[in-house]
Amino acid sequence: MKYSVEFRPAVLKSIKNLPLKDIRRIKKKIDNLAENRPDPAATKMKGNNSFHKVRSGDYRIIYETYDDRLVILVVKIGHRKDVYKRLL
């Protein structure tokens, strides 16, 4: 079952500043995520939140899933050193 992917406006804005090879790698990872969602128990972030994370090179993709609507909402994409700062 394929999920549709939605992005927060800030994600689209921040991804424009990344190198092209990293953008391609991230896009491929997001497409793969929509086709074959990884085990939620393995990707769940610690704490009292509904966020999951997946790795794409030095970058992390933070997302939420809505199983009732089959939607993956990408919340934030950033370098691993600072993606977790100010995460809502």
Average pLDDT for 65-75: 93
Average pLDDT for 49-77: 94
d(CA 49, CA 62): 12
Token output for 68: 């009732």
Domain coordinates in residue numbering, the chain: 4-79
pLDDT at 76 over 90: yes
Q: Kindly state which CATH superfamily the domain 4-79 is placed in.
A: RelE-like (3.30.2310.20)
Q: Helices in the chain by DSSP H: which ranges?
A: 9-15, 20-35, 40-43
Q: What angle do CA 67, 30, 73 make, to 5 degrees?
A: 40
Four-residue CA torsion sign, 71, 52, 76, 37: negative
Percentage of the chain exceeding pLDDT 70: 99
The pTM (predicted TM-score) of the whole model is: 0.89
